[in-house]
Amino acid sequence: MRKIVVLVLAALILASCAQIRHSDVGSGDVSSAYGSESTPDLKNDTSDRQNTAESEPLTAAPETVPDSGSGTDTEPIVVSVTEPPATEPPVTEPPVTEPAPETAKKDDLTTDGGYKYCSGAAKYLEYIKTENLTLVNKQNEVPEDYLPDLYKKTGMMKEAYFALQAMFAQYKYETGKTVSYNTKLAYRSYEYQYNLFAKYTRQEKEKHPNYTDEQIRQLVNTYSAIPGQSEHHTGLCLDFTPVSDSFAKSDWFKWLSKNAYHFGFILRYGKNQIDITGYKYEPWHWRFVGRDAATEIFTRGITLEEYLGVYPPSSGQESDALELPPDDLN
């Protein structure tokens, strides 16, 4: 841009000089043009004219660019040079994508034994299929120092504990609800059962002051085991809360009643089975036996004693135990 301005100014200056020179030659006399009063030689004059003619093109002004203030109608030619703008590398913005709608993750189900186990339950199938038919009841006691092979601090044997975890996982998969258990409501020591039975005995004695000690004992023994006869000594069972008949109204109990046998568990003391099991209906008390045995017990609607072919003797109870009110026996 600066070079163009300089060229234009130079052209204007040359044009001005040429005009002045032509003016001097046209208005002056010959003597002033060629020297003092001497008449120029024709030859020299011709030579001078040729030299002048040859030199004129050198002094001829180029086309002038009229100044904007000269008053001429010709629009001035404005020469401008626009430098190309510096180009920055293009910035590519990542495409904006809408988040995909969340979809429920489908669990890979494993069909085994005609039942579809979720992945959280299927990994315990080995334990679910393990059979353990240990029987502890009023006719089959364990010694005071009996101690099952409990798994860590779970209060249960390993196969029973992991089958229980499988059942918890399946219930959560199907319902979205979480359940748990209290380890203190699983295994019980001989001493613990002794103190529990003694507590219930005192409570019943206060309620029934006219009962004999043996009647009180028999009454308590319809819902609490004598030390050594409790299934809780095995580490194969547990009580869910609440430990009352109201548990039968819970969604968890309803699910257990239909599905627990697929995981090797049975309702140990069902309705109207006191003549065989020796205990009242306990909807909260569930026992692990293994899937095959549990399936048959559930399908046939029988007790563990009946499955094993072990029945309580038809006699042996004290006669005064038969005098307990019917409400206390059901």
Confirm if 274 and 246 have CB atoms less than 8 A apart: no
Burial of 101-116, coded b for 16+ CB within 10 Å and e otherwise, reads: eeeeeeeeeeeeeebe
- ∠ CA 266-270-271 to the nearest 5 degrees? 160
Q: Is 282 one of the catalytic residues?
A: yes
Residue 95 has which token pair? 């495409």
Q: Which residues contact 144 (CB under 8 A, 6 or more apart)?
A: 190, 227, 228
311 close to 276: Cβ distance less than 8 angstroms? yes
Bridge partner residues of 195 (DSSP): none
What gap in Å lies between CA 161 and CA 128, rounded to an integer?
Answer: 10
Strand 115-117, strand 237-239: pairing: unpaired
Catalytic residue of the set 282, 296, 305, 306: 282
Q: How far apart are CA 133 and CA 308, in angstroms?
A: 8
- Active site members: 282
